[in-house]
Amino acid sequence: MSPDTYIHGTEPSEQERLAGLNRMTNAAFIQFLNVSPGARVLEVGSGLGLLANEVAATAPGVDVDGVEVSAAQLAAARPGPRVTFRQGDAHALDFPDGSFDLVYARYLLEHVADPDRVVREMRRVTTPGGRVAVCENDVSLLRFDPPCRAFDRAWDVFTRFQSALGGDGLVGRRLFRLFKSAGFSAIELSVQPEVHWHGSAGYVAWVHNIIGNLESARNGMLAAGVLSTADFDAAVDELERLKTDPLGSAVFVWNRAIAVR
C-alpha cells in the first residue's frame, strides 16, 4: 500500500491521535510480547516509533529495528537507544532469513494490500524457534451505549472506504487463518480489551480516539462522495455528546496472534 492510500494519512492531528493510542495500548501489548533480554526484534510498520522505543527499553540488551513505508512517519520518529528505523515495505522485508528472535506488527495488517504475504515475510525473517506476534483491528467489534446510530452508519462507510483503498478493517478476525497459511502450527489467539465507561480513566480518550479515526478519513470520504458533510458531522456530534453522557460506555477488543516459527 502506498502512503497515499493509507486511510488515516500522516497529518499532525493524526500523528497526535496515533501517539495517544500508543499511550493507551502500549503497556498491555508489551506485556503480551514478553521480550527476552538480548532479543533481536523487528517491528513491521513502526509508524512514529513510539512502541519500538518502549519495546527496546523493556529488557537489557534488546535491539529493535523498525520498518516503515511512510517518509512522513519516519521523519516524526525519534529512535531511542538500540533502536533503528528504516524505510521499507512490509511485503518485501529487506532482511535475510532468520534475522530476528521476535517480529511483530501492530495496527498494520488492516492497511496492507496483501496481509498473507506480509505474515509470510515476517515468518521468513524470524529465526527458527523465534516468535511472530500481531495485534489487529476488527472494527465491527466496536460498541457504544447508548446506541449511536449516526456514528454506526458513518463507521460502516469508513469500513467500506478502507476496503476501497485496498485495506481491510476486519482483518483481525482472520489472524488464525493468516498464520496457518504462512506455515505456523503452534498459534495462540487472544484479545486485548478496551472497556471504558463514563468516569473511568480511559473513557474520554478512547471515544476521542474513535472520533480521530473518523476525522482522519473525513476529506477522503467526502471527496469520494461516500459520506455527506452533514452525516459526518452528525456522527462526530453524537460521539462528542457520548463523552459527557453519564450513561455512556464503550467496548472493543483488539485481536492478537502469536506463534513460534
255 binds ligand SAM, rule: CB under 6 A:
no
Angle formed by the axes of helices 203-216 and 149-164, nearest 10°: 50
Q: Does 22 bind ligand SAM (CB under 6 A)?
A: yes
Query: Nearest distance from residue 139's CB to ligand SAM, in Å?
Result: 13
Stretch that binds ligand SAM, among 101-109, 179-187, 206-214, 216-224 (CB under 6 A): 101-109
For the chain, the C-alpha Rg in angstroms (whole number) is 18
Asked if 256 touches ligand SAM (CB under 6 A), the answer is no
**127 vs 192, which CB is nearer to ligand SAM?**
192
How many other C-beta atoms can be found within 10 angstroms of the C-beta atom of residue 188? 12
The answer to the question of residue 89 lying near ligand SAM (CB under 6 A) is yes
Residue 248 CB, nearest approach to ligand SAM (Å): 25
Q: Which residue is nearest to ligand SAM (CB)?
A: 47
Which of 10-15's residues contact partners 24+ apart within 8 Å by CB, and which partners? Answer: 10/70, 10/72, 10/73, 10/76, 11/216, 13/212, 13/215, 13/216, 14/212, 14/216, 15/48, 15/73, 15/76
> Minimum distance from CB of 241 to ligand SAM (Å)?
27
Nearer to ligand SAM, 3 or 183 (CB): 3
Provide the minimum distance between the beta carbon of 41 and ligand SAM in the complex, in angstroms, as a whole number. Answer: 13
Residue list 39-68, contact with ligand SAM (CB under 6 A): 45-47, 50-51, 67-68
Q: Record the cell numbers describing residue 146, joined without a space.
A: 447508548
Helices 149-164 and 229-244: crossing angle, nearest 10°? 130
Question: Minimum distance between the CB of residue 3 and ligand SAM, rounded to whole angstroms?
Answer: 6
**Contacts for 61 with CB less than 8 Å, ≥ 6 apart:** 37, 38, 39, 82
Nearest residue to 49 (alpha-carbon basis) of 25, 29, 19, 27: 19
Q: Which is nearer to ligand SAM, 7 or 242 (CB)?
A: 7
- Residues that contact ligand SAM, how many (by CB under 6 A): 23
162: contact with ligand SAM by CB under 6 A: no
Among 108, 134, 157, 178, binds ligand SAM (CB under 6 A): 108
Q: Which stretch binds ligand SAM (CB under 6 A): 33-41, 85-93, 170-178, 207-215?
A: 85-93
Residue 18 interacts with ligand SAM (CB under 6 A)? yes
Among 15, 70, 159, 209, binds ligand SAM (CB under 6 A): 70
Give the footprint of ligand SAM on this chain (CB under 6 A). 1, 3, 6, 18, 22, 45-47, 50-51, 67-70, 73, 89-91, 106-108, 111-112
